[in-house]
Structure 1
């Protein structure tokens, strides 16, 4: 007989009841621990949400936290689900899956841009919490008008969400580099092109050399939004969506 009882970490992740409690309500629970951890990460980054700092903020001992979370690794999963939060209420599209999936991706991108520490969390498995499952469900909903099977839909949602995560990580690292040099994106790109134009040998790297001598970086327009990474994200997302469209077209042609 298969035991379908959820393991303790899923009980905590989904905040499932664990039976009647006698006496006064506990002063500390999973919700308070995770909420405090998210607040600390929002303020100080992921490195600021250590168990000792969480315990200090709550006025308890670090060991007492293990009554409410199974491990440090479990805390990160709990933080990721709480920090991501539930998705907006995306309606199922009648026909235009692309606009719906684009809206979904931009909404997820916005969450990551507001909470940079989310991208720094390790990936320990597939979505498993109520918030991350909610985002998965919304992404699958965008693909309803397609003729794709369940496996293809799940794969596409994972690819697009992976692109969102990687694009945010790249944006964070580039921003850190600009903070180090004190230059904005336009100045950084121009300096890069000038140095590479002098260093890159056209006989060894002909195609790269052509780009660096083309004036591309010198004449690039300034970002269209306050977030310089927005344009790059949008450009890459359209390429990903082109791939999804090609997959859908191939499936339709096989039917």
Structure 2
């Protein structure tokens, strides 16, 4: 799968076709089809192979919240390093060894919480979905900005333009938001997660914190 991953890293998801992979491996397409029958199967294998680099050797975090926060940030970093990974359609539950390793690591952070297995699975499903969608949204926003323009600059321009157009009587809440400093925050440092991602992550962890507290005996 390393050949397919290299193609996707270089040219995006659409570059990793079965014929291109066969050409990269210097084999015929028919011989490759004996091992990988469909494009969907190829994508699933690629996604698992690409997840190996993001798989952590160990966690140094203290407490379930910090551990789960680091789990989410590491997953975000993997998606940012390989933008094509979150673009792979999800048609089934994780099944590859590296994807299972991510799942196991997430469960490990929740051992001390007292949550049921159903609650743990729900929490990781919610969190992983949030990370994936945040990474995809970040990609789309970057594609829509002018070259070299920072996200904070783009948001300030958007806020100023919309504020001049919005009727405060018709849209009072939107007008109040635009008049606030919500769109004026600075971009995070190099290599740091996007501020919208970090803020959303804390809201999810706050909710999970309340569920953990309710699950513990008096």
Q: Is the 8 A contact 1:119 1:169 kept in 2?
A: yes
Q: Is the 8 A contact 2:76 2:193 kept in 1?
A: no
Cα gap change, 1:92/1:192 in structure 2, threshold over 3 Å: closer, same or farther?
Answer: closer
Looking at structure 1, the residues matched to 191 and 67 of structure 2 have their Cα atoms a distance apart, in angstroms, of 23
SS of 1:128's partner is coil
The structural deviation recorded for 1:109 is: 1.0
Q: TM-score, normalised by structure 1?
A: 0.79
Match of 1:183 in 2: 149
Please say if 1:168 is aligned against 2:132: no
Looking at structure 1, the residues matched to 40 and 91 of structure 2 have their Cα atoms a distance apart, in angstroms, of 9
Looking at structure 2, the residues matched to 215 and 145 of structure 1 have their Cα atoms a distance apart, in angstroms, of 38
SS of 2:194's partner is helix
Out of 210, 214, 217, the position equivalent to 1:250 is 214
Match of 2:22 in 1: 55
Match of 1:112 in 2: 79
- The CA RMSD measured in Å over matched residues stands at 2.0
Please say if 1:201 is aligned against 2:159: no
The structural deviation recorded for 1:63 is: 2.2
Q: Is the 8 A contact 1:92 1:141 kept in 2?
A: no
Choose 1 or 2 for highest CA Rg: 1
- For CA contacts below 8 A with separation 6 or more, give which structure has more relative contact order: 2
Looking at structure 2, the residues matched to 227 and 189 of structure 1 have their Cα atoms a distance apart, in angstroms, of 20
Looking at structure 1, the residues matched to 175 and 192 of structure 2 have their Cα atoms a distance apart, in angstroms, of 25
Q: TM-score, normalised by structure 2?
A: 0.92
Out of 9, 15, 40, the position equivalent to 1:73 is 40
1:24-49 alpha-carbon deviations (Å, 9 max, x no partner): xxxxxxxxxx1110000011110110
Cα gap change, 1:60/1:159 in structure 2, threshold over 3 Å: closer, same or farther?
Answer: same
Mapping of residues 24-43 of structure 1, within 5 Å: 34-43=1-10
Looking at structure 2, the residues matched to 214 and 107 of structure 1 have their Cα atoms a distance apart, in angstroms, of 32
Match of 1:128 in 2: 95
Cα gap change, 1:136/1:216 in structure 2, threshold over 3 Å: closer, same or farther?
Answer: closer
1:205-246 alpha-carbon deviations (Å, 9 max, x no partner): 1110122233543xx242131257522211111111111111
